[in-house]
Amino acid sequence: MIAGRVWKFGDNISTDLMLPRPFMLRPPEEQKLAVFAATRPDWVAQVRSGDIMVAGRNFGTGSARPAARSLRNLGLGGLLAESINGLFLRNCVNFGFLAMECPGVSEAFEEGQSAEVFLDDFTVLNRETGVRLKGVPIPGALLELMQGGGVFPILEARGLIEPLPPH
């Protein structure tokens, strides 16, 4: 189970807002400081480890930039959205950031409420209101990658590739 404070976002949130172009070539630790700087400038300073993003439709639209890594590096517990852009979802898997589609989630939560995410049955609970929703199940292999840190850490742990040098 994952539990955390909710941060709400709307529809069609672009990866450009999560990882702005001027930060593309900077180290990942610097990239995470720019997340949503254009639309919510103090957000990064307010986020706590385990917090959960709740969003509308087509979250992660835009380019293939590694924005999911920046969200993971902020310590977020995950993303719940009405729908997630396919390319962004793949990057969530690759970089080990939990992302699940959950119909009705944007209406079920207000910012600041608490969410519990149960990955055994893919349900989501609003602690304050008691509303329980059914998320879209994540295939086992993809869930393993999301929870295991992403593709490279899993391959390293299995001895299939050499560890990457530090940045």
The pLDDT, as a whole number, for residue 64 is: 85
- Tell whether 147 is covered by a domain: yes
Does residue 54 fall inside a structural domain? yes
User: How far is residue 163 from each of residues 23, 29, 154, 166, measured CA to CA in Å?
Assistant: 25, 19, 10, 9
User: How many independent structural domains does the chain possess?
Assistant: 1
pTM of the model: 0.94
pLDDT in tens, 67-77: 999 999 999 99
Range of the domain at 30: 2-157
Residue 164 lies in a domain: no
Would you state the pLDDT for residue 167?
Answer: 61
* 166 within some domain: no
**Mean pLDDT (whole number) for 85-102:** 97
Give the relative orientation of helices 86-95 and 140-147 as an angle to the nearest 10 degrees: 60
Question: What percent of the chain clears pLDDT 90, i.e. is strictly above it?
Answer: 93
pLDDT in tens, 45-65: 999 999 999 999 999 999 889
Tell me the CATH number at 49.
3.20.19.10
33, 35, 47, 78, 95 from 73: Cα distances, Å: 10, 10, 11, 11, 10
Within-domain flag for 163? no
Q: Does some domain include residue 65?
A: yes
Q: Is residue 25 part of a domain?
A: yes
pLDDT exceeds cutoff 90 at 81: yes
Mean per-residue pLDDT over the chain, rounded: 95
User: Is 66 domain-assigned?
Assistant: yes
pLDDT digits (tens, 9 = 90+) for 143-159: 999 999 999 999 999 99
Count other C-beta atoms under 10 Å from residue 51's C-beta. Answer: 18
- Write the single-letter amino acid at 135: G
- Cβ neighbours for 37, distance < 8 A, ≥ 6 positions apart: 20, 44
Tell me: pLDDT of 164 over 80. no
Q: What is the pLDDT of residues 11-31, one digit of tens each?
A: 999 999 999 999 999 999 999
